[in-house]
Amino acid sequence: MNFRTDLALERCENLDKKSLGGVKMEVFKENNAKITRIDVLNDEGKKTVGKPIGKYVTVEVTPFARHAQFIDDSLESVSKEIRRIIPQRGSVLVAGLGNMSITPDALGPKCASMIFATRHITGELLRSTGLSGLRCVSAVATGVTGETGAEAGEIIKGVVQTLKPDVVITVDALAARNVDRLGTTIQMCDTGIVPGSGVGNSRQEISEKTIGVPVISIGVPTVVDAATLIMDCIGNENGTENVSDTAKNMMVTPREIDLMIERAAKLTSLAINCALQPDISPEDMLILTS
């Protein structure tokens, strides 16, 4: 693979069926969403896709910059796929990764701020509100190493040791190979995440192996690298040979990125909330988290 991407789907797209040994792939449409489920089954599949063994789901929806209505078929499809990939029981920690001060990287912390946290709702308060069936949920925004001096993985591991959740859900901005997927795609997987890997700035892995509990990773691609964009524009895979190293290391993001991030964070957080608390309607959940 001579391009940067965090999406398992894009790792599989240029391979024919004969080359997908150890990989099971299912593509279908539901409502207004296109859903791709990829199972990396063994070491052969791991080598083929360049991703750890596990489940990867991509939901392609209406571009977020044009998506003003949050409670619709897109929400239902995303929430359904999240519910399908997370454990059905147990407490949950939602961790927003990224830098709030850099718009393309602000998805995680914005999403974490809209998670319906319930761990503190106990006893009489729980009974009096009629919400006795609430799942225990906590949320944290980790910041980035340049701000905190600590790896996001270290912060999450410390929180996990204190709160002892049964599963962690991370939310982060991703890199795509195809510019058309920026702000239109949500990927989720059960293998964790290596923050920054798609932009060549890999940080400490966050997975069950490193923090001790299962990690579900959810992300939206917000950037594409300049070399890939040039290659697409001229239709030549070797078209970047004369591009400077500086240009090759640049990442490109859409001009409507502010609106894209706001709406992507809203939809993603609402989908997570609805997946974790299925007894609360999306309309009520939107009120609770506003």
What is the pLDDT confidence band of residue 289, given thresholds at 50, 70 and 90? confident
- 265 has pLDDT over 50: yes
Which segment of 29-43, 152-166, 235-249, 266-280 scores lowest on mean pLDDT? Answer: 235-249
pLDDT digits (tens, 9 = 90+) for 239-251: 556 666 776 678 8
Domain ranges of the chain: 8-288
Q: Would you say 88 and 100 are in contact if contact means Cβ atoms under 8 Å apart?
A: no
- What average pLDDT does the segment 54-58 reach? 96
Q: Would you say 270 and 186 are in contact if contact means Cβ atoms under 8 Å apart?
A: no
- 159 has pLDDT over 90: yes
Report the pLDDT value the prediction gives residue 65, as an integer from 0 to 100.
Answer: 77
For the CA atoms of 131, 137, 138, 141, the dihedral, rounded to the nearest 10 degrees, stands at: -120
Q: Would you say 264 and 280 are in contact if contact means Cβ atoms under 8 Å apart?
A: no
Is the alpha carbon torsion for 248, 53, 267, 286 positive or negative? negative
Nearest to 67 by CA among 288, 271, 277, 276: 271
The set of residues, in sequence order, having a beta carbon less than 8 Å from that of 75 and lying 6+ positions away, is 267, 270, 271, 274, 282
Cα angle vertex 119, ends 115, 120, to 5°?
Answer: 110
pTM of the model: 0.90
Element (H, E) at 271: helix 257-276
CATH fold of 8-288 reads Rossmann fold (3.40.50)
Nearest to 218 by CA among 100, 31, 79: 79
More confident residue, 232 or 121: 121
Nearest to 54 by CA among 65, 66, 62, 46: 46
Q: Would you say 264 and 40 are in contact if contact means Cβ atoms under 8 Å apart?
A: no
Report the pLDDT value the prediction gives residue 1, as an integer from 0 to 100.
Answer: 47
Could you tell me where the DSSP H helices lie in 34-186?
A: 43-49, 73-85, 107-112, 123-128, 145-148, 152-163
Report the pLDDT value the prediction gives residue 50, as an integer from 0 to 100.
Answer: 87
Report the pLDDT value the prediction gives residue 206, as an integer from 0 to 100.
Answer: 95
What is the pLDDT confidence band of residue 201, given thresholds at 50, 70 and 90? low
Burial 194-211 (b: 16+ CB within 10 A, else e): bbbbbbeeebbbbbeebb
pLDDT digits (tens, 9 = 90+) for 204-259: 899 999 999 999 999 999 999 887 777 767 665 555 566 667 766 788 898 899 99
Detail the DSSP E strand segments found in the chain: 23-30, 33-40, 54-60, 92-97, 137-143, 167-176, 185-189, 215-225, 251-252
- What average pLDDT does the segment 162-171 reach? 97
What gap in Å lies between CA 163 and CA 227, rounded to an integer?
43
- What average pLDDT does the segment 7-32 reach? 85
Could you tell me where the DSSP H helices lie in 17-115?
A: 43-49, 73-85, 107-112
For all residues of the chain together, what is the average pLDDT? Answer: 87
Which segment of 88-92, 208-212, 283-287 scores lowest on mean pLDDT? Answer: 283-287
